[in-house]
Amino acid sequence: MKIIKRDGSEAVFDITKIIVAVTKANETVEEKDRMTPVQIQRIAESVVLACEKLGRSPVVEEVQDLVEKQIMAHGAFEVAKAYITYRYTRTLVRQSNTTDDRILSLIECNNEEAKQENSNKNPVINSTQRDYMAGEVSRDITNRILLPQEIVDAHNDGIIHFHDTDYFAQHMHNCDLVNLEDMLQNGTVITGTLIERPHSFSTACNIATQIIAQVASNQYGGQSISLAHLAPFVNVSREKIRRDLREETASINIELPEDDFNKVVEKRLREEIRRGVQTIQYQVVTLLTTNGQAPFVTVFMYLGEAKNEQEKRDLALIIEETLEQRYQGVKNEDGVWVTPAFPKLVYVLEEDNIHEDSPYYYLTQLSAKCTARRMVPDYISEKIMFRDKVDKNGKGNCYTCMGCRSFLTPYVDPETNEPKYYGRFNQGVVTINLVDIALSSGGNIDKFWKIFDERLDLCYRALMCRHNRLKGTLSDAAPILWQYGALARLKKGEPIDKLLYGGYSTISLGYAGLYECVKYMTGKSHTDPSATPFALEVMQYLNKATKTWKEKENIDFSIYGTPIESTTYKFAKCLQRRFGIIEGVTDKGYITNSYHVHVSEEIDAFEKLRFESQFQTLSPGGAISYVEVPNMQHNLDAVLEVMKFIYDNIMYAELNTKSDYCQVCGWDGEIEIREADGKLVWTCPKCGNTDQDKMNVARRTCGYIGTQFWNQGRTQEIRERVLHL
């Protein structure tokens, strides 16, 4: 069995350390209050047994909590007091050099928590380590200077989660929709170089990848671009190819029949589209931004954004090529085709592509084929989005998420009276732990709502800290964002403040653990008809709070179904430490994302999507639902049925399958999760390989696909997922 130390590094569990620590505490009390060596041995053995039952590697604090409880269970209260005093003294000593220790453990690559904090960051490489080191310094400054102590304490206790403290010291925002159309059509500036309107599709794609990299280096969340913004350049290339071909044929005195001439033009155009799309895919996969990872970018595929029929046909060509290349995948270092994490693809289901007789149904069929093999694209229903995203003019809107799931709220530009989405952004997130509210109430419903109000007020103050940190930021802090079109065209030296108010940008109140909250308060899953009304009441309470804040501050507070990738483990550990193990509530190494049905609950795909749709509607700041499916490559009809169900019933959803490869034996089936020495280990079922550096594993964990493995809590959650189809 392993144990995770305070600096995040991993070590072999040593029972003798418990015996030595308790013995030392035992020796400090009067002889009449001391325990016998046999009692101390039993305490140590009981702690080991409790740790083994966790099904994951415990952290030092959890072990010490168990030791305290066992000492008191033996009635040795004076010894317990001595042990607690010693523990407190050591904590004070450690506080002076915690940051130094964590940074050193990062450099030496033995920080287990940091290694698994982000499933798309490789912690071994220098650029990631540099980002993590800077993050530790930022986190230290944030906790000691920038945030009120009550917010820091609430974050550390798992009552709330103040996201991205490793970036908070800087004036940076979260997610955004890049206004690629403005930058390509009107030109931009990248690191002091003027980039004019491109004269071909392939050049437009190349510029787009440079913009993606620059944007990713100036914010910390996900970003999205639309293929519709590239579509006009298809015709630019078409006309250029036509001119060139006219010159070629004239130079050798050949006149092609018009049909043959057009066929040659379209063939060359297809090749340029192939090269352009390949540029985007390979550049995004191979780029490393300043934070040591590939850009968290989503590519939006929506035929409805085309401005005319010719542009729609050209956009369809780009979408088709994008899906074909993603279906193929990318080659790993051994030359084997594997599933890349990025870019994430989002495909809109609409009347033009959802029915068998729709003109673009072939794209939907190709999407199903790609999803079955590579887990993308994910799906937005134009029909449901038009219903749920209605602006002040009464018009429904369809647009992409910012990154993996964060959504803007409807907005009409006061100058043009037209809807606007590209160029907008999210200021940041604070997540409320719903499970902690329930447990703190002890099941008393009146106390529950009282504590809920207190925690919401805490979140409001934390979110205002995020807002005020951005307030006053000058456009010079990130010229690509604020001056050169990605988000705005502000003047040099101009503050970004006007973009923080009036609904132009959002700021998100996240929530986590609705399932466990309802389970504790009602004794039932929120899918039970008798418990669902309470779950919906909780969601409506969250929305009521953000509405009040919005009216007070003129800031667009919005409810966000938090993905809590690594926080799921942190929240679970904090709950266990404070409330112990409660069956069905705190007995896992994770808590459930947002409103999701618990991963182990038996429910079919269609019922799950139907049930979760009502909660998605109450998460206007973003959320995504999923269904867990087996290998569907030979059952595309079933995939298409799920996609059609999404179109009619839920705004945003995805299908989760598996896409693995063992570099040792060539196994391309599912890499399994097995338990070894008290730890969950990824294992090849064919050859037994457990070396994560010699396997490719792709799993969806929070909207994005992760490929760099996960902490023990998230790994347990992945292992316990049941199939919905």
Helices within 33-76 (DSSP H only): 37-53, 60-73
Give the model confidence (pLDDT) of 672-710 as tens digits. Answer: 999 988 889 999 999 999 998 899 888 887 666 776 677
Task: Compute the average pLDDT of residues 210-215.
Answer: 94
The tokens of 394 are what? 């009464």
DSSP 368: H
88-120 in b/e form (b: 16+ CB < 10 A) is eeeeeeeeeeebebbbebbeeebbbbbbbbbbb
Q: Is the pLDDT of residue 288 over 70?
A: no
Instruction: Quickly list DSSP for 661-710.
Output: EETTT---SPPEEEEETTEEEEE-TTT----GGGEEEEEESSSSEE-S--
Give the model confidence (pLDDT) of 107-125 as tens digits. Answer: 555 555 554 554 455 556 6
Q: What is the pLDDT of residue 290?
A: 53
DSSP 421: -
Q: What is the pLDDT of residue 119?
A: 46
451 vs 393: CA distance, rounded Å = 38
Q: What is the pLDDT of residue 515?
A: 98
Q: What is the pLDDT of residue 553?
A: 98
Contact 420, 429 (CB under 8 A): no
Which residues neighbour 53 within 8 Å (Cβ) at sequence distance 6 or greater? Answer: none
Task: Compute the average pLDDT of residues 498-506.
Answer: 98
Q: Is the pLDDT of residue 8 over 70?
A: no
Give the model confidence (pLDDT) of 121-162 as tens digits. Answer: 555 666 667 777 777 778 888 998 999 999 999 999 999 999
Task: Give the residue, 188 or 120, on which the prediction is more confident.
Answer: 188
Residues recognised as catalytic: 174-175, 402, 404, 406, 426, 560, 565, 703
Domain residue ranges in the chain:
2-96, 176-388
The tokens of 225 are what? 């671009």
Average pLDDT score over the chain: 91
pLDDT band at 327 (very low <50, low <70, confident <90, very high): very high
DSSP 229: G
Name the pTM for this structure. Answer: 0.85
Q: What is the pLDDT of residue 113?
A: 54
- In CATH, what is the architecture of 176-388? Alpha-Beta Barrel (3.20)
